[in-house]
Structure 1
Amino acid sequence: MKRYAASAILVLCAAGLAHAADGAVAVEADPAAGLHSDWALQITPYMWATGLDGDISPFRRAPTLSVEKSFSDVIDDLNFGGFVNIWGRYDRFVLSGDVMYVNTTDSKATGPLPALQIPGIAAIPAGARIDADVDTREFMATLQGGYRVIDTPELSLDALGGARFWYISNDVSVTASYPGLGRVSASHEESFGWVDPVVGARLFVNLTDKLSIQGQIDIGGFGVGSDLTWSALATVNYTFTDNLSVSAGYKVLDVDYEHDGHVFDTRLSGPVLGLTYRF
């Protein structure tokens, strides 16, 4: 059951269907290169070939399962996924938005288990074996505003602050088999979400007229939503025209959330590839 969420994020992040938290996966070129000296706006759909590892509980007070998957492990579980980043600037004021949506279906068999309670099924005695199908929908959005503290033709540095929103919904179909008692089946749907404050920074360096590098980091949570969340992104960018550029790099997104019987402690990491259009 733990694989479900892992797979979801994994697959979404990895499959290239629109695979397009947090700290703004800003796979982008410099907004300062926009068509007007005072303002710029750009949109970047991107692919994230991520792997996932961590600890996840599919519903409140369910057993916490460890998961470790590579990008290739999760492709088959993906139903739909998408990633997109939006970046805007007016004079020295900046705005960053990053959105991720994933839908996956995963199957899991485990046991024998200790005694436990599964929603929709009576208490499961020790020794039971569980077969489960988990359909997971995960939404994450990071919204940040900030100020450009350094602005030169060669280098820009932005200070950022905002919030990361998480929403996770799991639809679990479970069949429990135990010696002498036969099989019992049930389904259960459960969702949970939280909001994390985040602070961060973004550095952009022009190497040539067409080639640049970018780094962006953020950290947050601080016990408000999750105990801790952070992300880091580094890309190399190449500009084809005033409106179009491509970026390639690496991104990490980490979150440690545990509250009211829900556990979502995961790390996503892998290469990113994005195509940016500037207005």
Structure 2
Amino acid sequence: MAVVWPMPSAAQGEPWQFTVTPYLWVAGIKGNTDNPASRVHFDRDFSDLFSNLSGFPVMLGGEVRKGRVALALDMIWLKVSSPIETRNVLFNDGKGDLSTFQFSAVGFFRALDRPGGSIEIGGGFRLWSVSSKASLNAGLLPARSTKLDTTFADPIIAARFEWRVFDRWSLAGYGDAGLGVSANVTWQALGTVNYRAADWLDVKVGWRYLFVEKKKLDLAFNGPMLALSFRF
């Protein structure tokens, strides 16, 4: 008589799930970039973002899931400008431009899965490409400009949770921290209130903070965000 052992088909039979999340993060920017022979200081609240944009921002998230395992992606491209104030002696003020590209990829494992919520832990990396330009207007000295370009990546560890409050409402939180390979410090925190508008759409409103510090730069991005998550 042949014996047929049952296969763990529940895990194997989980369908692939895909999520695309365009979002708007109205982030204030505070920090400094040390350009050659000059320091550029940025201090703009989130309410000033639109008046300081130098290009259309690109903000997009995505996720691929199968069962308890998921891969989450996030991309930001943001270009802003800020006035540079001088004593109008050597130079007559100027302008600082900051272009920031951030890309992260994090793999997650769902450690706790209950009808009321879930907890996931994971790890991945975050890539930065930052370009800063300082342009000083002529005063006693002729006009000049300096530029800083830097690209680096750091491994990160991350955790997130979701708690279902009502039938269509939930609370979610996410946090990560770098391991200090390229940046001295990098970390992020995000909290959202989510509403399931349809089986294929979630509307999310929340607050996000992202910080990075390494040689020649320290930048903090902080402000409210609105996201639409499309599932298929």
Alpha-carbon spacing, 1:165–1:97, altered in 2? closer, same or farther (3 Å)? same
In structure 2, give the amino acid aligned to 1:141. F
1:109 paired to 2:71: no
The equivalent of 1:71 in structure 2 is: 46
1:162 and 1:137 map into 2 onto residues whose CA distance is: 24
Identify the structure with bigger relative contact order (alpha carbons < 8 Å, sequence gap 6+): 1
The equivalent of 2:110 in structure 1 is: 148
Q: Is the 8 A contact 1:109 1:129 kept in 2?
A: no
Structure 2-normalised TM-score?
A: 0.85
Structure 1-normalised TM-score?
A: 0.72
The equivalent of 1:29 in structure 2 is: none
Could you say which structure has the higher strand fraction? 2
Alpha-carbon spacing, 1:194–1:60, altered in 2? closer, same or farther (3 Å)? farther
Q: Which has the larger radius of gyration?
A: 2
- Give the total of aligned pairs: 219
The equivalent of 2:9 in structure 1 is: none
In structure 2, give the amino acid aligned to 1:45. P
Q: Is the 8 A contact 1:248 1:272 kept in 2?
A: yes
Q: CA deviation at 1:106?
A: 3.4
> How far does the alpha carbon of each residue in 1:153-183 deviate from its partner, in whole angstroms, 9 at most, with x for none?
22211111011100012344333422xxxx4
Q: CA deviation at 1:209?
A: 2.5
> How far does the alpha carbon of each residue in 1:97-127 deviate from its partner, in whole angstroms, 9 at most, with x for none?
1110012333323137xxxxxxxxxxxxxx6
In structure 1, give the amino acid aligned to 2:199. D
Q: CA deviation at 1:221?
A: 4.2
Structure 2: segments with no counterpart, 5+ residues:
1-12
1:250 paired to 2:207: yes
1:100 paired to 2:76: yes
The equivalent of 1:160 in structure 2 is: 122
The equivalent of 1:31 in structure 2 is: none
1:235 paired to 2:197: no
Q: CA deviation at 1:268?
A: 1.6
1:77 and 1:271 map into 2 onto residues whose CA distance is: 17
1:202 paired to 2:160: yes
Q: CA deviation at 1:51?
A: 1.9
Q: Is the 8 A contact 2:36 2:147 kept in 1?
A: no
The equivalent of 1:266 in structure 2 is: 219
2:43 and 2:131 map into 1 onto residues whose CA distance is: 21
Q: Share of identical aligned residues, percent? A: 29
**4+ long deviations beyond 4 Å:** none
The equivalent of 1:192 in structure 2 is: 150
